[in-house]
């Protein structure tokens, strides 16, 4: 049995990752870290009753992380996999970017990963096993205009993952990051048909990725057989970069 915590567990990517574990690995227990808008997360819980639960988690709060980990440890006695998936963006050119837009995006995308990794390291070290998968973005290595805050935060996630991987390698814990490109989630819902068509022209595969295609990569990095894979940054982008 593995106990798995996925942040951003109410969004398309988080739900897709959670569903993958629940469908492919009958012994797994999945915790969906959610701050608000629980309906879709609760639907997955109902579908996999007894194996999937929602845990309150404001990812930018140290206290919330500690409480969430305590809740999971009390219920399962272990926490094997952390998928740091929560994030947000507020795009604008740097010259007009507000202080709030900078600090909010950096906090939700980078501070959250720092807090989450720190919160789970001790219980993972206690079992000499752990898998941490941090969802970054292709923007970390191929940043578009208007995303100085988001790109900087996601680049920080990659660097944090690579550094932490070295620090905990001897404890049996691996730390990797995934850099998705365009994935069919609510994050792309604002794109009109013309913008979507233009975006696809820049993708060698000429299509957007699907959440389940990211979930498969997360599943591999979380498995026992991926024990020698750590500090990696895996792009899932249809060949853009």
* Interatomic CA distance for residues 102 and 71, integer angstroms: 32
Q: Which of 20, 150, 182, 228 is an active site residue?
A: 150
SS3 content of the chain, % helix, strand, coil (to 5): 50, 15, 30
Handedness of CA 222, 226, 231, 232 (dihedral sign): negative
Is residue 135 within 8 Å of 180, Cβ to Cβ?
Answer: yes
Catalytic, 182? Answer no
CA end-to-end span of the chain: 37
The token pair at 41 is 């997360």
* DSSP string for 216-241: HHHHHHHSGGGTT--S-EEEESTT--
Active site residues: 150
């Amino acid at each position: 049995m593995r106990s798995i915590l996925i942040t951003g567990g109410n969004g398309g990517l988080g739900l897709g990752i959670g569903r993958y574990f629940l469908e492919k690995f009958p012994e797994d227990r999945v915790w969906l870290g959610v701050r608000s808008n629980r309906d879709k997360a609760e639907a997955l819980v109902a579908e996999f009753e007894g194996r999937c639960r929602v845990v309150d988690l404001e990812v930018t709060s140290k206290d919330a992380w500690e409480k969430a980990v305590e809740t999971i440890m009390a219920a399962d006695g272990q926490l094997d996999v952390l998928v740091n998936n929560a994030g947000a963006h507020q795009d604008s050119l740097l010259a007009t970017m507000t202080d709030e837009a900078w600090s909010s995006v950096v906090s939700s995308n980078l501070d959250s990963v720092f807090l989450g990794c720190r919160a789970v390291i001790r219980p993972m070290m206690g079992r000499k096993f752990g898998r941490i998968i941090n969802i970054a973005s292709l923007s970390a290595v191929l940043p578009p205009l208007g995303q100085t805050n988001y790109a900087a935060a996601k680049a920080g996630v990659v660097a944090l993952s690579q550094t932490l991987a070295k620090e905990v390698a001897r404890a049996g814990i691996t730390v990797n990051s995934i850099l998705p490109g365009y994935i069919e989630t609510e994050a792309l819902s604002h794109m009109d048909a013309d913008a979507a068509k233009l975006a696809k022209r820049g993708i060698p595969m000429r299509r957007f990725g699907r959440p389940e295609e990211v979930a498969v990569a997360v599943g591999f990095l979380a498995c026992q057989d991926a024990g020698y894979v750590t500090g990696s940054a895996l792009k899932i982008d249809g060949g853009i970069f």
